[in-house]
Amino acid sequence: MEKRIIECVPNFSEGRDMEIIKEITDAVEAVKGVHLLDVDPGKDTNRTVVTFVGGPEVVSEAAFQAVKKASELIDMSKHRGEHPRMGATDVCPLVPVSGITMEETVKYARKLAERIGNELQIPVYCYENAAFEEKRRNLANCREGEYEGLKEKLADPEWKPDFGPARFNERSGATAVAARDFLVAFNVNLNTTSIRRANAIAYDVREKGRPVRKGDPLNDEIIKDEKGNPVMIPGSLKNVKAIGWFLKEYGIAQISMNLTNISVTPVHIAFDEVCRKADDRGIRVTGSELVGLIPLKSLLDAGRFFLLKQQRSTGVSDEELIKIAVRSMGLNDLHHFNPEEKIIEYVMINKEKKERLVAMNLEAFMNETASESPAPGGGSVSSYIGALGVALGTMVANLSSHKRGWDNRWKEFSDWAEKGKKIQNQLLRMVDEDTDAFKGILKAYNLSNKSEEEKLLRKNAVQDATKYAALVPFEVMKTAYSGFELIREMVENGNPASITDAGVGALALRSCIRGAFLNVKINASGLEDKEFAKDLVFNACNLESKAMMEEDAIMKLIDSRICPEEKKKE
């Protein structure tokens, strides 16, 4: 399964005392599995924005520990700063990055808010998607009156906090916890020095749009409605804020955008729309820049978008998709764009890379397999064989997509290549997952078993780890089996010159499935839950039989195509 990752971006009401900030971030980093990405203090605002990512459970724990530490170190009765604020930890939003839905993130946010309220006795308001009522969705409403007006606000039944006591906490104030969409700061570079023209393009695209003016658009008089609010012409992009400004360092104007919901308006759509609006005004876009980090999916989607415009297959590697995205949007225009430093998942992976099998080159993986270390073993190798098998099917799909004379079929084969890429990536992830499962068994056996209670805990841990170690190769079998559909399609309808490549893919999938089945059986034999073990082995056995029939049918089809005279003799 895709790794579950959320981001947390708490804002603390301290931007001048670096020792306090360090103690708070130390509390974050003390939680295993959390990756601290950025610490951004501001002296004038007296506020620090911290960014960290990880699995939802560990991020929630790190967020709580940071809020707790801030409540111990920051005294809001002495705080002064330019930015609106109401608490030592002013806001603490959770943001889904990958493998987790907004609905799930909301649950984690509310659970965190409840824990802060109950254990730290800090009033907590839930905003954005975590809000319990509409008027609290907007952070400005929750923070209205700020710290100085908080005592009076808490006395109003309408503003009873969602969690925690409805009484004034003089030292810590109140905290707002949210689940919100990922926000991307994205700037587009123009071949002009005119701020006015840049602003005109910004008004064209931003959701708020521009005010309606009387007669001449340059006239300063703005038309207002009966309530005195400006009448606006909406821009073309939803969930986008934008302004134009001048970069003195580079001598160019830019459109500076905040994409507040990249699932509605992704970076590639924003870039393309700015290009269109700029062109309408006789201005060219020369490139763009991403401020801060971005989820991997955003750049992969951008790469696919630009490949589809070229009528090229999108079933290529992540690295190739990222290259296409970077080149198409000119992300190298002002600064070198390093995916290892700008993509959230890559920043996380780089810290773990040395321990992962999939980060090894082919020779290193082979040598590690041949060493006296018990892992990687047959399970990891089976999964890798399966990934290679599906990769061969994906290769045939990509070759077919670009075959001369088949131009009208490029999308058909691109879709198959996309399916293949997804399966091979799943199998590749399971190379390490199988080894991790084996290590889990060893870890369980190493638990203390001196007392009766410890013996029971150790026994249960061993059983849980063994069950997981049996389920992982079964998942490998199911995932690999789904690759036969691609292989068969490529043999029947793909590039005839590559039919034997697809055949090798079928052989690899069969070997992967049979190898993984061995691991299912040996781990299931150690389970005390015999009913579960019996059902698992039965289902795995059926899957192995189906795989062998698929492989046999595919090989017969290939033989009939490459050795038709043999078919006649029969």
DSSP, res 104? H
3-state secondary structure of 199: helix
Do strands 252-259 and 285-291 pair parallel, antiparallel, or not at all (unpaired)? unpaired
Whether 303 has a pLDDT exceeding 70, the answer reads yes
Catalogue the E-assigned strands of 104-183. Answer: 124-128, 175-179
Cβ-count burial of 315 within 10 angstroms (0-12 exposed, 13-18 middle, 19+ buried)? buried
pTM: 0.76
**Residues β-bridged to residue 327:** none
In the prediction, which pLDDT does 356 show?
Answer: 77
At position 444, the amino acid (one-letter code) is A
Rounded to the nearest 5°, which phi and psi values hold at 191?
-90, 45
Rounded CA-CA distance 326/340 in Å is 13
- In the residue annotation, 434 being an active-site residue is answered as yes
CA 158 from chain center: how many Å? 37
In the prediction, which pLDDT does 335 show?
Answer: 87
Q: How far apart are the first and last CA of the chain?
A: 46
List the catalytic residue out of 40, 75, 83, 402.
Answer: 83
CATH 1.20.120.680 residue ranges for the chain: 356-569
Rounded CA-CA distance 361/212 in Å is 61
For the domain made up of 356-569, the CATH class stated in words is mainly alpha
Computed from CA positions of residues 66, 71, 74, 79, in that sequence, does the dihedral angle turn out positive or negative? positive
Give the H/E segment covering residue 252.
Answer: strand 252-259
Q: What is the pLDDT of residues 256-290, one digit of tens each?
A: 898 988 989 999 999 999 999 999 999 999 999 98
Mean pLDDT along residues 410-437: 93
Residue 196: partners with Cβ closer than 8 Å, 6 or more residues away: 244
CATH 3.30.990.10 residue ranges for the chain: 5-179
Half-sphere exposure for 562 (CA within 13 Å, toward CB): 15
Q: In this structure, what is the dihedral angle of CA atoms 422, 428, 434, 437, given to the nearest 10 degrees?
A: -70
Locate 514 and state its tokens.
């049979």
- In the residue annotation, 216 being an active-site residue is answered as no
Rounded CA-CA distance 570/565 in Å is 9
Mean pLDDT along residues 113-131: 96
Rounded CA-CA distance 382/370 in Å is 15
CATH 3.30.70.670 residue ranges for the chain: 184-346
Q: What is the pLDDT of residues 330-386, one digit of tens each?
A: 999 998 999 988 898 888 776 555 567 887 888 888 998 898 888 788 999 999 999
Q: DSSP string spanning 225-246?
A: -TTSPBPEE--SSTTEEEEEEE
Confirm if 382 and 516 have CB atoms less than 8 A apart.
Answer: yes
What is the CATH number assigned to the segment(s) 184-346? 3.30.70.670
Q: Which fold has domain 5-179?
A: Formiminotransferase-cyclodeaminase; Chain B, domain 1 (3.30.990)
List the catalytic residue out of 162, 301, 432, 434.
Answer: 434
Count of CB atoms situated within 10 Å of the CB of 9: 23
Mean pLDDT along residues 179-191: 91
Which one has a higher pLDDT value, 542 or 564? 542
